[in-house]
Amino acid sequence: MADTLTYKILRKHLVSGELVAGGEIGIKIDQTLTQDATGTMAYLQLEAMGIKKVKTELSVSYVDHNTLQEGFENADDHRYLQSVAAKYGILFSRPGNGICHQVHLERFAKPGKTLLGSDSHTPTCGGMGMLAMGAGGLDVAVAMGGGPFYLLTPRVIKVELFGKLCNWVTAKDVILYVLSLVSTKGNVNKVLEYCGEGLKGLSVPERATIANMGAETGVTASIFPSDEITWQFLSAQSRSQDWAEFKADSDAKYDEEIMLNLSKIVPMAAAPHSPGNVVTVKEIAGLKVNQVAIGSCTNSSLRDLMVVGKILADKKVHPDVSLIVAPGSRQVFSMIAKNGVLAEMIDAGARIMESSCGFCIGNGQSPVTGAVSVRTGNRNFEGRSGTAGAKVYLVSPETAALCALRGEFIDPLALDENDYPQITLPERFDIDDGMILKPAADPHAVDIMRGPNIGEPPSNEPLPPEVKGVVLIKLADKITTDHIMPAGHRLKYRSNIKKYSEFVFEGIDPDFARNALAIREQKKAVFILAGASYGQGSSREHAAICPMYLGVKAVLAKSFERIHSANLVNFGILPLVFVNEADYERIDKGDEIEMSGILERLERNEHVVIFNKTRNIKINMAYFLTDRQKKILKAGGLLNYTKQQSA
Per mean pLDDT, which range of 432-441, 459-468, 628-637, 638-647 is the poorest?
Answer: 638-647
Is pLDDT above 90 for 378?
Answer: yes
State mean pLDDT over 395-406: 98
SS3 347: helix
Closest CA to 369 of 348, 353, 391, 354: 391
Distance CA 358, CA 95 (A): 12
Query: Within 13 Å, how many C-alpha atoms sit on residue 74's CB side?
Result: 20
Q: What is the pLDDT of residues 556-593, one digit of tens each?
A: 999 999 889 999 999 999 999 999 999 999 999 999 99
Q: What is the pLDDT of residue 51?
A: 87
Domains delineated in the chain: 5-264 (3.30.499.10), 268-411 (3.30.499.10), 467-646 (3.20.19.10)
Q: In the structure, what pLDDT confidence band is assigned to residue 527 with cuts at 50, 70 and 90? A: very high
Which DSSP symbol is given to 329? B
Please check whether residue 106 is in contact with residue 447, taking contact to mean a CB–CB distance below 8 angstroms: no
Q: Report the pLDDT value the prediction gives residue 545, as an integer from 0 to 100.
A: 95
Predicted pLDDT at 647 = 65
Mean pLDDT (whole number) for 137-151? 95
Q: Would you state the pLDDT for residue 2? A: 87
Q: How confident is the model at residue 70 (pLDDT cuts 50, 70, 90)?
A: confident
Looking at residue 504, what is its pLDDT? Answer: 97
Query: Pairing state of beta strands 525-529 and 467-474?
Result: parallel
Please, which residues have CB within 8 angstroms of residue 548's CB and are 6 or more apart in sequence? 458, 460, 571, 572, 573, 637
Cα dist. 562→39, 141, 152, 381 in Å?
A: 20, 18, 10, 19
Per the confidence metrics, is the pTM higher than 0.75? yes
The CA distance from 588 to 80, in Å, is: 43
Mean pLDDT on 295-319? 97
List the 351-352 sheet strands across, edge first: 278-280, 268-270, 391-394, 372-375, 291-294, 322-325, 351-352
pLDDT for residue 69 is more than 80: no
97 near 228, Cβ under 8 Å?
no
* pLDDT above 70 for 32: yes
Average pLDDT over residues 336-358: 96
Q: Which of 339, 328, 280, 310 is nearest to 401 (CA)?
A: 310
What's the whole-number mean pLDDT along residues 458-468?
90
| Residue 109 C-alpha from the chain's centroid | 17
Alpha helices of 365-480 — where are they, by DSSP H? 397-406
d(CA 553, CA 266): 47
Residue 606: Cβ within 10 Å count: 12
pLDDT over 80 at 1, yes or no: no
For residues 96-119, give the mean pLDDT: 97
Task: Give the model confidence (pLDDT) of 599-622 as tens digits.
Answer: 999 999 999 999 999 999 999 999
- The Cα–Cα gap between 548 and 484 comes to 12
Residue 383 pLDDT class (50, 70, 90 cuts): confident
pLDDT for position 307: 97
Strands 14-16 and 24-27: antiparallel
Burial of 210 from C-beta contacts in 10 A (0-12 / 13-18 / 19+): buried
Q: How confident is the model at residue 489 (pLDDT cuts 50, 70, 90)?
A: confident
Decide if 189 contacts 220 (C-beta within 8 A): yes
Of the pLDDT bands very low, low, confident and very high (cuts 50, 70, 90), residue 644 is: confident
pLDDT in tens, 233-276: 999 999 999 999 999 999 999 999 999 999 999 999 999 999 99
Among candidate residues 494, 626, 532, the one with its CA nearest the CA of residue 40: 494
